[in-house]
A and B are shown apart, each in its own frame.
Chain A
Amino acid sequence: MVESYRPKIGVYVCDCGINIASVIDVPAVVEFASKLPGVAVSREYTYMCSDPGQNLIKEDIANEKLNRVIVASCSPRMHEPTFRKAIREAGLNPYFLEMANIREQVSWVTVDHAEATEKAKKLVEAAVAKALLLEALEEKEVDVIPSCLIIGAGIAGIQAALDIADAGFKVYLVEKTPSVGGHMAQLDKTFPTLDCSACILTPKMVDVANHPNIELMTYSQLEEISGYVGNFKAKIRKKARYVDFDKCTGCGVCAENCRLAGRIPSEFDELIGNRGAIYLPFPQAVPAKYTIDPERCLQLSKGKCGKEGPACVAACGPGAINFEQEDEMVEIEIGTVIVATGFDVFPMEKKPEYGWAENDNVITGLEFERLVSSSGPTGGKPVLGRDKKGEGGYLPEKVAFIHCVGSRDKSVGNEYCSRVCCMYLAKQAHLIRDKLPEAEITVFYMDMRAFGKGFEEFYDRVRREGVRYVRGNPSEIYRKGDDHTVVVKVEDTLTGTPMEYEADMVVLGVGLEPRKDIREIIDLFKLSQSTDGFFLEAHPKLRPVDTASDGVFLAGCCQGPKDIPDTVAQAKAAASSALILMAYGKVKVEAMVSVVSPDECRGCGFCVEVCPFGAIELVEENRMGNIVQVAFVNEALCKGCGSCAAACLSGAIQPRSFKDEQILPQIAVLGVKP
């Protein structure tokens, strides 16, 4: 009826041909082991890992009723899975296996045979000591919900969404702003091929909107995420647009009639162009649905718009505008998550010496993109110094481009290289040369990095187009006199000559930074940041799109600066990683997870603090009628590293099969002098 609690241990010492037997006196070890407490059988065999070797174990389990198995052979990193499988087949829980590594760590490294034999005995004894206290563990598999949440609908999010949707899985694509497209939509041309960004991006934008497997949620935000790999629950806030999504035809009459039309700086145009209070971020925006900016809209902010009420309402044929609309909370269940939240460009406030704030002809690279974009505020002409109405202005004659603004710069805390600036500045220099053949163009750089496919060639081409490259990092940029001339104070580090270069347009090659709101995501997913502040991948080389949280993957610049091809490649990688889980439909959860003994827990939360996987939380526990806080392990998140156990003062939390009570006997055996 009840199986015995008495440990019956089988010890199997492997000769490994001569690898072990030629150094260690195996029979002596077998003999020694046979006398250890709890040991029922102790055997030698040439190759334990061979089928006959494994059968030896299986038979003994059957005949001798063994309930613990010790294999003294090669490293557990080599054959632990093999023997686990074997004893499982024999009907014993695979975690009743303990191995003694007497090949890699004894016979192969020890000169003196007697000493080697002694060490081997010790290791076997230690294994026995631990085996006495081994426990059965169950290996769980959880189902993976066949859907994926993608956060951020830039090119990375879009690409990942399309790949997963095409594979036939449900995708929820969540975008904070009213339109998909991200930064790529703001760009004019893309280096080095110079094809128009919009032309290659917009088709994909349309696809995500129409794809039957993709549920697009723009102007929406992830508020809560719980659960674990395969089984996440997410709460998403769909912010009120104040425009009925279904009724709006995107005709734009509302915007034309808005009392504030053209009087609000447009985020999409980097504030150099304007929009109304009801707006479409940009002409090709997807979805082509208008949105009311609640902060600026007179009706919403002041509660009153003109005498005869909001003109937009009157203008809107379908009657789509609805000021009563409220935020909507959507709850979804997904199996996997891809984080593709992108980047922010370096905020020039951090580098006042470049006079960006004061001088409207000192602009960032991204502002430049809007300036030269045919769909931009200036219709593609690099006109500067226009007045409020956007009239007048001049075309620059002397243009300076500055590299490494906010990158490779300790003083602003960004040591890293942003990887795209060298090339986008080269591209932009080319565009100026294109649009203003007469202009004098000078590029101030620190080092030229043209590592990508076709980059060097492009850089060469730009230089041949008469763009002057000066090696130097400007210390200061300031206005001279009252015309629009600004001086770039810089030292030519090749010739060592200081110079004050006068320009009437300066383009700052601003770098890429982690998003200001990156914390929100970190807190939601308990992700970590690498020193540069971007998301930390699970392994820099081998798991570049995985994170410490299973089932959560990274794509695009949120993991580090990238150009478009790299971003797309990573998006596809993230997609395939997510697909692996969803296609197989199941995921194994670690069996050697930590376990809490609630009666001993003091609820200090040290374990919660140290757990790298956010697997532990404090929960209420009724202790003889008194309510106390105790630690609780979410087994699906725990990886069994055991940091919690070392942090716990009372030993109330322990990783299964590496418990204190299992390790201490090993120490006792190995500690006492041979």
Chain B
Amino acid sequence: MGDYKFARDKLADVLTSLKEYQVFAPAAVGDVLRFKEVTDPANVSLDYDNTTVPPKELMFPQTETLFKYRLGSTEVEPSVPDASKKRMVFGIRPCDAHAYSIVDNLYGWDFADPYYQKRREGTTLVGLACAEPCANCFCPSVGGGPASEKGLDALMFDLGDAYYVNSLTDKGEEFAKAAGLEAAGDADAKAAAKQGEDALKKVARSIDTAGIPEKLPSLYDHPFWEQFSDRCLGCGICTFLCPTCHCFDIQDEAEAFDARRARMWDTCMFSEYSLHTSGHNPRPTRKERTRNRISHKYSYFPEKFDVIACVGCGRCINHCPVNIDILDILDKSKQAEAKEAKTA
């Protein structure tokens, strides 16, 4: 759609002009970056690699009330977010936007999940292309890229003195209008395109995913998983920081007589996750859990929604304390000798 631009020093003004939006942008909490609601546009900066915690929390908060009720009563009051309230994620990286478009499949599948979807509908995603990909990015290998438009309503390029904005949807157009952006010239468009191509070249890591989804199930009993699971801590870093991981737990909580049913992030890396009340656990050790995590992203999910549930943002690699490197695993899986998985 439209090509726009705004001067670097106008960033604050642009944000200020987005009155009718609740705007979220990367902000520093101590040493870590996280998407926060913009309170003072003046100290928003877009000079960042990527946030530690992905913006998935904006659609799928770590803890979310499903409904409230009084103990003893049978009236429940759902707390579904209001879609009419316009929100904007400003400066989101293409990989994280891509993640939304993947997870949409799951939340749209069969029973629609109103909590997630209402937020999605009401939210405009203004992306920021990566000029300098990080060390462990591999977005191009999984259908994304430093300037991928997937899932975005608009995509910004940092051209130094100005930001070039390419609106991709009506929502994107609305944003451009609301922000009163000036039209951009061909030069800018070219510069942006150039930046995109260069960035693509700079992406250091990659994996050829061809054949992986079909092969993984055949490696079900393969010992190669243990090379990784043996040092796995079974913590939730890889999954909690993954923009496409979407699993959750549901629990009832009560304060005196006010109670709620809430859902909170859960992870297949915890043993409680799949533990039966009987004490039987279909995934008794980290081997099965690691296998499930990888297989889910690269086999089960594609089998269901034929898209790989990974956007190559590299978070799980960057933050894994024991260097369990998903690219390494996939690589090994390709070398691994397929064995006929034994069944009952």
A and B touch in the complex (CB under 8 A): yes
Measured CB to CB, the residues of A under 8 A from B are: 37, 599, 672
Residues of chain B within 8 A of A599, CB atoms compared: 279
B29 at the interface (CB under 8 A from A): no
Encoded as 1 (CB less than 8 Å from any A CB) or 0, chain B from 240 to 261 comes to 0000000000000001100000
Q: How far is the CA of A599 from the CA of B271 in the complex (A)?
A: 15
Q: Is residue B72 contacting chain A, with contact meaning CB distance below 8 A?
A: yes
Give me 5 A-to-B residue pairs in the complex whose CB atoms sit less than 8 angstroms apart, sorted by A's number. A37-B71, A37-B72, A599-B279, A672-B255, A672-B256
- Give the distance in Å from the alpha carbon of A672 to the alpha carbon of B256 in the complex: 8
Render B273-298 as a binary contact track against A, CB cut-off 8 A, 1 for contact.
Answer: 00000010000000000000000000
A672: chain B residues at CB < 8 Å are 255-256
Chain A residues with Cβ below 8 Å from B256 are 672
Look across to chain A and name the residue whose beta carbon is closest to the beta carbon of B72: A37
Closest to A624 in B: B284
Chain A residue numbers with a CB within 8 Å of B72 are: 37
* B53: min CB distance to chain A, Å: 30
Q: For this complex, into which size category does the number of interface residues on chain B fall?
A: under 10
- With A and B bound together, what is the CA distance between A503 and B255 in angstroms? 85
A189 CB to closest chain B CB, in angstroms? 74
Among residues of B, the one whose C-beta sits closest to the C-beta of A599 is B279
A7 to chain B: closest CB distance in Å? 14
Which residues in window 36-84 of B have CB below 8 A to A?
71-72
CA distance A599 to B279 in the complex (A): 10
Residues of B within 8 A of A37 (CB): 71-72
In chain B between 69 and 102, which residues have their CB closer than 8 angstroms to a CB of chain A? 71-72
Chain B residue at minimum C-beta to C-beta distance from A669: B256
The 5 closest A-B pairs by CB, nearest first: A672-B256, A37-B72, A599-B279, A37-B71, A672-B255
B254 to A, closest residue via Cβ: A668
CA of A37 to CA of B71 in the docked complex: distance in angstroms? 10
Q: Which residue of A lies closest to B71 (CB)?
A: A37
Closest Cβ of chain A to B27, distance in Å, is: 35
How many angstroms between the C-alpha atoms of A37 and B254 in the bound complex? 14
Shortest distance from the beta carbon of B87 to any chain A beta carbon, whole Å: 35
Nearest chain B CB to A32 CB, angstrom units:
13
- Cα–Cα, bound, A599→B281 (Å): 14
CA distance A672 to B257 in the complex (A): 11
Chain A contacts of B279 at CB under 8 A? 599
The distance from the CB of B274 to the nearest CB of chain A, in whole angstroms, is 16
* Nearest-Cβ distance from residue B69 to partner chain A, whole angstroms: 15
Nearest-neighbour CB distance to chain A for B257, whole angstroms, equals 10
Q: Inside 8 A of B71's CB, which chain A residues have their CB?
A: 37
Q: Which residue of A lies closest to B280 (CB)?
A: A624
CA distance A337 to B279 in the complex (A): 45
Q: Closest residue of chain B to A35, judged by CB? A: B72
Q: Within the assembled complex, what's the spacing in Å between the Cα atoms of A37 and B256? A: 12
How distant is A651 from chain B, measured CB to nearest CB, in Å?
A: 16
Give Cα distance in the complex from A37 to B257, angstroms.
11
| A37→B279 CA distance, assembly (Å) | 30
Give the distance to chain A from B288, nearest Cβ to Cβ, in Å. 15
B256 nearest in chain A by CB position: A672
- Alpha-carbon gap, A153 to B279, bound state (A): 56
Shortest CB distance B140–A (Å): 45
Complexed CA–CA distance, A37 and B72 (Å): 8
For residue B255, which residues in chain A have a CB less than 8 angstroms away from its CB?
672
- Chain B minimum-CB-distance residue to A668: B256
B252, chain A: closest CB distance, angstroms: 15
Determine the distance from Cα of A599 to Cα of B255 in the docked complex, in whole angstroms: 31
Which residues of chain B from 6 to 56 have a CB within 8 Å of any chain A CB?
none
A672 to B254, CA, bound (A): 12
Inter-chain CA distance A120–B72, complex, in Å, is 23
Bound-state CA distance A672–B72 (Å) is: 19
Question: What's the minimum C-beta distance from A625 to chain B, rounded to whole angstroms?
Answer: 11
Query: What's the nearest-Cβ distance from chain A to residue B223, in Å?
Result: 20
| CA of A547 to CA of B106, assembled, Å | 67
Q: How far is the CA of A229 from the CA of B255 in the complex (A)?
A: 47
Q: Tell me the residues in window 133-170 of chain B with beta carbons closer than 8 Å to chain A beta carbons.
A: none
Q: How far is the CB of A526 from chain B (nearest CB, A)?
A: 35
Distance between Cα atoms of A599 and B280 in the complex (Å) = 12
A392–B310 Cα distance when bound, in Å, is 106
Q: How far is the CA of A331 from the CA of B74 in the complex (A)?
A: 67
A672 to B71 alpha-carbon distance, docked (Å): 16
Q: Once bound together, how far apart are the Cα atoms of A599 and B278, in whole Å? A: 12
- Nearest B residue to A673 by beta-carbon distance? B256
> Min CB distance, B70 to chain A, in Å?
12
Shortest C-beta distance, B258 to chain A (Å), equals 11
Which chain B residue shows the least CB distance to A672? Answer: B256
- Report Cα–Cα, A191/B313, bound state, in Å: 94
Q: How many Å from the CB of B201 to the closest CB on chain A?
A: 53
Tell me the bound Cα distance from A37 to B73 in angstroms: 12
> Cα distance A672–B255 when bound, in Å?
9
The residue on A at minimum CB distance from B284 is A624
